[in-house]
A and B are shown apart, each in its own frame.
Chain A
Amino acid sequence: MNDVLTKQMARVNLYALISRILMKELDEDFLEKLESDEMMLSFFPNYQAWEKPKELSKKELLESYLNVDFTNLFVLHLIPYESFYMREDQMLETGGANPVLQFYNTYDFRVQLEKARSVSPDHIGIELEFMYMLASSEYKALESGDEAVACEIAKIERDFLRDHLLQWTLMFLQNVKAEAGTPLYFDAASLALEFMFNDYEYLHELITEEGCRYAQ
């Protein structure tokens, strides 16, 4: 795999990872994958040092700690939706007028809210998975040697990060870090924050007026 594809694969996987964690409650299958993958685990330093995963079964860990924390952070106390942070009136925009939905629609992406267990398409998990979808498409384009298409997709990624995710997730994820009751969600919030800013910087450098400088 060349460098370009490696970089792109890293982006794809990281968006997949953080979108999954921030989307809905985790399950045993995910924990299995996390703990059996050193590379993945390396993004969660505090979790690695936490004794509970060693003491409890995965089911117990989920039911007694992780899912409780998720509920506290994403359902009860914090609002993981963009419109809450962006609208003057702090109302959730759940309908067709949501600009994020319009963004998805523009590029023919359809959200299944039931599956996401969200009330609105501007949930942080959904927005991150959208980035994952874009990055995957970009990867495929690069894989088939079509840099021009890949670059178009990269521009969409940049715009979506700039106009949506980076507009509000700093506040939200800082709140998650402040409120988190388990190391996993603390680490996940840190990872998401750092990665998004880093990725925006990457895209900003990648995209020029003439095209994308993948080879750099």
Chain B
Amino acid sequence: MMNESRRTFLKGAAFTVAGATLATGVFESVAEASKEATAEFTNTPASLDFYPPLEKWDSFRELDGDDWKRGGINRKGVRSDDNPDGIEVHDYTIVPCVCSNCEAGCGLTAWVDKKTLTVRKYMGNPLHSASRGRNCAKGYAVESQMYDPDRIPFPIKRAPGSKRGEGKWVRISWDQALKEIGKKMHDTLKSGDEISKKSIMYHVGRPNENGFGHRVPHTMGLDGYDSHTNICSAGARQGSIQWANDDRNSPDWANAKLIFLQSSHAADAGHYFQQSAGLIADARKKGAKMVVLDPRLSNSAGIADMWLPVWPGTETALYLYLANRILNEKDKNGDDLIDHGFVKNWLNWDRLMANREYLKFMVTKGYISKMPEDESYESFIEVMKELYAPYTKEYVVKECKLEGQEYKLDKLFEMFIEAGPKIATYIWRSGAIAHRGGWMITRSAFLPLALRGAMRGDVGGVSWHHWHKISIGGKGDAATVAGKKAPKVEVWNELAWPPEYPLSTYEMSYILPHLLMDEEWQNKWRARGLNVPTKLAVWIPRMYNPVWINPDGFRWIEALKDESKIEMSFNLSPTWSETNWYCDYVLPTGLAGERHDQQSEPTKPEQWTAFRQPVLRVALEKMGWKPKVEHRGTLEAHIKAGLGEIWEENEFWAELLCLHVDPDGSLGVRQYWESRKHPGKPVTVKEYYNAGFSLLPNLKKAAEAAYPDSEYPCYEFMRDRGAWTEKTNVYRPQEKELEFDGTYYHAHGHKYHVDEVEKDKFGVLWIVDHEGRKRSIGVEVEGKLYEGFHTPDKKLDLFCEWLIDWKWPEYALPIYPRNEREYDKMIHIVSQVHHRYINQENEFCLNTVFRLPYNIHTRSVNSKHLMEISQNHNPVWIYTKDAERLGIKRGDAVKIRIVDTVSGLESGYFIAMAVPTEATMPGVLACSHHAGRWKLKNAVEIPGFEHALGVMGLGAPLYEMTMDGKVGTLKPKEGIDEGINKRPKSWQFKAFNKDLDNIWWDGLSGSWQNAVAPVHPDPIAGNHAWNQKVILEKAGSDDVIGDIWVNYENNMKTYKAWRDKLTRPLTAQDRERRPYWMPRPAVPLSKKAYSCTIKDI
């Protein structure tokens, strides 16, 4: 029986028009595409892997993304001549490389479209065991940098007759550059005297490789390497070196129970963060807690279990407070909290207890009240208990300005103890680079961890970097005619290692212009017998922009413009920069996917290495292309693929040094760069890296198995994979046993005859090296022989005995002023922005050293993607109540006047935008020093070239500059209006820049505060102490955000005040420039170079 409504619907059968004429007709019949053509594609991915298996990398076909999301391949089939409406299928060669946009060395893969010879996207590298196929925003930005509309397309040279900084340039060929530069370097080196070996300086910013750059000055016999490290992380490194003679610590994040961070580094913006953040997330998933010490509520602090906003620079006090409680309290069972097993065996307490003289010194200093009864471990613990007892909760609350947050200290201690030895930390930039005595923050941070056994390098704890890192980038010697490393360098360059800073962690590179221009200083030391250079013949920055990123930028400009101080300069630079503007040549070298580098970093307890490559070259070679000149393969490939005349340092240096600097081999340089396989020609990258990677036994074995017939198996293995993990689970490496077979000790790959080895009363085994220096090879602990740590005594140096000989006895143990009186006595480890210096209501500490997750110091401005996501004008964070008190509202322009607390001089000011927030602590302003790029011309006309070369159009506004030798100013002029917005069509890389008409930002990414900042060289670690005391005012009616005004004459005086009031320079009593066992980074130096004779005057 049919119901009524159904009967009603039957009327539908009686429509006068058929359904077919009513329906819209949105369905179509099945696509005609043949099954064969579409068989490799599915409508939805079969799995959610981001990456195809390795065997498909040489030729991986993928549907165009736009069509994929519209229903897959069945809709219209695959595009072909017969099926023009089909879906585009991209045929890729996937070439692995390594990101270069921070220091982490995350793996990348470049997806090279074989048809267009362009990189369509950069993804991660799943074979990279530390980055695990993941990248941050900066990694994916490599494509936008590669196809930056303002990329420098060919080598350029300062126009003849023009002055540095005038912005007049001509196009030259690489051949001309090689010839002219080669001649200058040849002429400099050929005199062979001491000064010639100090006259060429290779100044490397972010190296992102392990040893190649060092090899450049080394093979020329030069002490001529400057790094950026002393403005970056040297404070932290000093503390690590003092503990372990190792450059930095290396945590096992993933297995820790407490993630203990000072600053946002590691978790959201800083050193190694993409890899570390993933590992930290793994640990937290397993229940680990996270604590963040930071005056600023960073992203990390925001998601932490505890945020401790400690007054900048007072972190030492907090760490010593933890040490005090560990030493003086018991657990609930009444047992000690100290890990006696570790402390007794692996800290050098025995040397402290044996040094009666120093113990007496401690009594006179009031560190302890009386001499210990004996030299026993138990007495040592009593000394420690007394030494750290003053660092009480009441003390630390006052010192760190934690009033109202006392409860957090108890909670922190509880978390610290609950984690046992599984506490992971990475003490890096932040406080350690922000303050005078920043190194003592690191030194003290490791003390509570050591007392709890967390420094054993075991699972979930902290180890040291070199055990987790592979450095073979400088070791391709076997591929060269020389076949071996160059000998040690015989000279000491005071322009990088001045005698005021014998313990400087790294080169004093950021005061290079001050040293070059301070003739009084040069004459003083020349009179005392040191052969101080007065100029540089050639200065070579590489991937570096010191004018902008270093403090006191106007001083840099003064020096670079002075042709009597720097006779020739050339920048190996992938992008335009403020520094390029003042150089003689700009030689465009490759970005992350355009160069060869071996890179390895200590990001987890294993040894991985990655291989950066020019991806277009590799793709072309896989397609059968061959370069005409093998040692110029990268340059030729980039020209062939339409990228421009972009080269790479590896091939550049090999050709320059082999064929131009030392063409006849008379300087002894050529042999290190000439191919052993093809004499007369520069070594090729394939030969060089095959030799280097062959030094890794596990890699070599795997490579030879995978490529049995290859001429360069290790090179090809890394070319195809881009990453390799040589060892995993590298735990407690210091406990590697040292073998003794009755006749020989076997240590560190060498064997030593028993007669050569002497054991001291602390169990340390010593030998005498070929230069007559004593060096330790191992240590006996509880009757067993171990390789030990890298300190001379093979233990962790709680007691830095050598600081006594090097004039700083009061800091041989982790220490911090305990009262007002000691602030003055220990001024070297009291921050220049300590709250004792902040007295007026508009005086603040300016916290400058935090990174922005999307910025890359000086390398963001060439990335459209990164510029778009970073447009916040890098405001000045100010605590809400402070702002209220001073009548400052969000968006107000404020004047930040920088005042030095040593010289008492004012440096000038910058104008910035204020943002009141609860996310910075009272009294502390925050403004990252990583933003605020500028340019003086929108574009450069190159005679004979039809297009003007835009200058940093995407992100550097146009400014007007004045400078008269004393005062410098910079004022924003027109944003990026004329620079990019008026030329929305790029002449190069059009397909990647169709959206230039859609730039909505104004380019102002902050103020150039670095130029206002005077240099603050730490008297011990040598690093710049970044934070500043500032006076905050509302901006005047004529002031605009971006303005700066700098009295750089005052800045020079401030530099001298820090030098003269705080350092303890070398004297006539000193026979060496630096502790010989404390390695000089980069270039190995002979005993002769270390030796000195200084006259008393």
- Report B-chain residues with C-beta under 8 Å of the C-beta of A188: none
Q: Which listed residue (B6, B11, B74) contacts A110, Cβ 8 A?
A: B74
The 8 A CB mask of B745-756 against A (1 = contact, 0 = none) is 000000000000
| B1069: Cβ under 8 A from any A Cβ | no
Residues from chain A with a CB closer than 8 A to the CB of B15 are: 13, 17, 37, 39-40
CA separation between A101 and B24, bound complex, in Å? 18
Residues of A within 8 A of B27 (CB): 104, 109-112, 129-130, 133
Contact with A along B31-71 (1 / 0, CB 8 A): 10000000000011000000000000000000000001111
B13 / chain A contacts, CB cutoff of 8 Å? 1, 6-7, 9-10, 13
CB pair B9 A198 closer than 8 Å:
yes
> Is A19 part of the contact surface with B, judged by Cβ < 8 Å?
yes
Task: Report chain B residues within 8 Å CB of A23.
Answer: 24, 26
CB contacts (< 8 Å) of B70 on chain A: these are 113
B9–A10 touching, CB < 8 Å: yes
A9-B12, A39-B14, A96-B69 known; A19+B23 contact, CB < 8 A: yes
Known: A39-B12, A96-B72. A16 touches B26 (CB 8 A): no
A42 touches B11 (CB 8 A): yes
Tell whether B22 is near chain A: CB-to-CB under 8 Å. yes
Could you say which residues of chain B place their CB within 8 Å of the CB of A133? Answer: 27
Indicate whether B16 reaches chain A with its CB closer than 8 angstroms: yes
Contact across chains for A110 and B24 when beta carbons are under 8 A apart: no
Asked if A10 and B17 sit within 8 Å, CB to CB, the answer is no
A116 touches B10 (CB 8 A): no
Complex Cα–Cα for A121 and B71 (A): 9
- What is the bound-complex CA distance between A15 and B75, given in angstroms? 24
Q: Are A105 and B5 in contact (CB under 8 A)?
A: no
Cβ–Cβ contact B23 & A33, under 8 A: no
> Taking the nearest CB of chain A, how far is it from the CB of B604, in angstroms?
34
The answer for the CA separation of A36 and B15 in the assembled complex, in Å, is 10
Instruction: Answer whether residue B20 sits at the interface, using C-beta atoms and an 8 A cutoff.
Output: yes
**Contact between B22 and A101 (Cβ–Cβ < 8 Å)?**
no
B175 at interface, CB cutoff 8 A: no
Q: How far is the CA of A113 from the CA of B26 in the complex (A)?
A: 7
Instruction: Report yes or no: A195 in contact with B9, Cβ–Cβ below 8 A.
Output: yes
Chain A residues in 8 Å Cβ range of B18? 13, 16
In the complex, B161 has a CB within 8 A of chain A? no
Size bin of chain A's contact surface: 35 or more
Considering the chains assembled together, what is the distance between the CA atoms of A40 and B16 in angstroms?
Answer: 9
CB distance from A189 to the nearest CB of B (A): 16
Please determine whether B11 and A10 come into contact, CB atoms closer than 8 angstroms.
yes
Identify the closest chain A residue to B43 (Cβ).
A96
| Least CB separation from B42: chain A residue | A96
The chain B residue with its CB closest to the CB of A12 is B19
Q: Which of A101, A130, A136 contacts B20 (CB 8 A)?
A: A136
Report the number of A-B residue pairs with Cβ-Cβ less than 8 Å.
132
* Cα–Cα, bound, A125→B71 (Å): 18
**Is A204 interfacial (CB 8 A cutoff)?**
no
Cβ of B887 within 8 Å of any chain A Cβ, yes or no, is: no
B25 in contact (CB, < 8 A): yes
Closest chain B residue to A94 by CB distance?
Answer: B69
Of the listed residues B5, B18, B23, B43, the one surrounded by the most CB atoms of chain A closer than 10 A to its CB is B23
Shortest distance from the beta carbon of A43 to any chain B beta carbon, whole Å: 8
The residue in chain B whose Cβ has the minimal distance to the Cβ of A118 is: B26
Chain A residues with CB under 8 Å of B6's CB are 198, 201-202
Complex CA gap A115/B6 in Å reads 32
Residue B629 is within 8 A (CB to CB) of chain A in the complex: no
For the complex, what is the distance from the CA of A34 to the CA of B69, rounded to whole Å? Answer: 37
Given contacts A10-B13, A11-B12, A202-B6, contact A96 B71 (CB under 8 A): yes
Which residues of chain B are within 8 angstroms of A1 by Cβ–Cβ distance? Answer: 13
A58 at the interface (CB under 8 A from B): no
**Which residue of B is nearest A136, CB measured?**
B19
Residues of B near A202 (CB, < 8 A) are 6
Shortest A101–chain B CB gap in Å is 6
A114-127 to B contact mask, C-beta < 8 Å, 1/0: 01100001000110
**Least Cβ–Cβ distance between A73 and chain B, in angstroms:** 17
A39 to B16 CA separation, bound complex (whole angstroms): 8
Q: Which residues of B contact A199 (CB under 8 A)?
A: 9
0 or 1 for each of B232-273: is its CB under 8 Å from A? (1 = yes) = 000000000000000000000000000000000000000000
> Which chain A positions have C-beta within 8 A of B19?
9, 12-13, 15-17, 132, 136
Extra pairs beyond A10-B14, A20-B24, A42-B11 (20, CB < 8 Å): A13-B22, A17-B12, A19-B24, A24-B24, A30-B22, A33-B21, A37-B16, A39-B14, A39-B15, A96-B43, A96-B68, A101-B71, A102-B43, A110-B29, A112-B27, A112-B28, A113-B71, A115-B25, A116-B24, A194-B5
**B contact set with A: CB distance below 8 Å:** 3, 5-6, 9-31, 43-44, 68-72, 74-75
| A-B contacts, 8 listed (Cβ < 8 Å) | A13-B19, A15-B19, A15-B23, A95-B44, A101-B71, A110-B71, A112-B28, A202-B6
Chain A interfacial positions (CB closer than 8 Å to B): 1, 6-7, 9-17, 19-20, 23-24, 30, 33, 36-37, 39-40, 42-43, 94-97, 101-102, 104-105, 108-113, 115-116, 121, 125-126, 129-130, 132-133, 136, 194-195, 198-199, 201-202
4 nearest A-B pairs in the assembled complex, by CB-CB distance:
A16-B19, A10-B12, A10-B13, A14-B12
